[in-house]
Amino acid sequence: MEKSVIYDLDTEDGIRQIRIEAVHQLMPGTHEYAMGVFRLSEGETDLGDIVFDDDMHEWEYTCMGDLSHREAKKIARFIKHNFSAEVAE
């Protein structure tokens, strides 16, 4: 995921547009490396990060924002199904 992606999160209060941006680290002598960390924001508001393990099986939400566990789970599932190949490279 080179650029950020907008995810339409369906909540009880309506649709929230969550921006998902993969965090990359430049490794010496190589290209950028996807770290399994995805920064979340809504407008100008930082919502924290979703961090996956190396296999993209387990994840945790840093809880900086006001997302419920259920909402974070929806976003994590979206990331896992759409971007797991990139992190595995």
Residue 42: which domain range?
A: 5-88
32 or 62: which carries more pLDDT confidence? 62
Distance of CA 53 to the CA centre of its chain: 12
Q: What is the mean pLDDT of the chain?
A: 84
Quick one: average pLDDT of 4-30?
87
pTM of the model: 0.81
pLDDT number for residue 57 = 85
At 38-75, the pLDDT tens digits run 999 999 999 999 999 877 889 999 987 789 999 999 99
CA angle (31, 35, 41) in 5-degree steps: 115
Count of domains observed in the chain: 1
